[in-house]
Amino acid sequence: MLRIGLTGGIGSGKSSAAAMFARRGVPVIDADEIAKQLVAPGQPAYERIIQRFGKEFVDADGFIDRGRLRRHVFDDPASRRELEAILHPRVRQQIQRQLRALRAPYCVIVIPLIFEANQQDLVDRILVIDAAEDTQVQRVAARSSLADDEIRKIIAAQIGRNVRLRQAHDVITNEGELEQLEERVDAFHTRYLDLAREQREQ
- Residue 91 contacts ligand ADP per CB under 6 A: no
Contact pattern from residue 120 through residue 139 relative to ligand ADP, giving x for each residue in contact according to CB under 6 A and a dash for the rest: -------------------x
- Residue 8 contacts ligand ADP per CB under 6 A: yes
* Contact (Cβ atoms closer than 8 angstroms) between residue 28 and residue 14: no
Between residues 14 and 48, which has the closer beta carbon with respect to ligand ADP? 14
DSSP three-state, residue 4:
strand
Instruction: For the segment 160-179, give every residue that binds ligand ADP (CB under 6 A).
Output: 174, 176-178
CB of 112 to ligand ADP, least distance (A): 7
Q: Considering only the stretches 7-15, 22-30, 39-47, 58-66, report the one whose residues sit in contact with ligand ADP under the rule CB under 6 A.
A: 7-15
Q: What is the DSSP letter of 6?
A: E
- Residue 27 contacts ligand ADP per CB under 6 A: no
* Contact (Cβ atoms closer than 8 angstroms) between residue 165 and residue 113: no
* Contact (Cβ atoms closer than 8 angstroms) between residue 25 and residue 185: no
127 Cβ neighbours under 8 A, 6+ residues apart: 4, 5, 6, 7, 17, 108, 168, 169, 170, 171, 172, 188
* CB atoms closer than 10 angstroms to residue 121: 9
Q: Considering only the stretches 13-21, 23-31, 60-68, 146-154, report the one whose residues sit in contact with ligand ADP under the rule CB under 6 A.
A: 13-21
- Residue 143 contacts ligand ADP per CB under 6 A: yes
Give the sign of the dihedral formed by CA 176, CA 16, CA 71, CA 83: negative
- Residue 94 contacts ligand ADP per CB under 6 A: no
Per CB under 6 A, the list member of 4, 13, 49, 192 interacting with ligand ADP is 13
- Residue 12 contacts ligand ADP per CB under 6 A: yes
* Contact (Cβ atoms closer than 8 angstroms) between residue 170 and residue 127: yes
The site for ligand ADP (CB under 6 A) is made up of 8, 10-16, 139, 143, 174, 176-178, 181
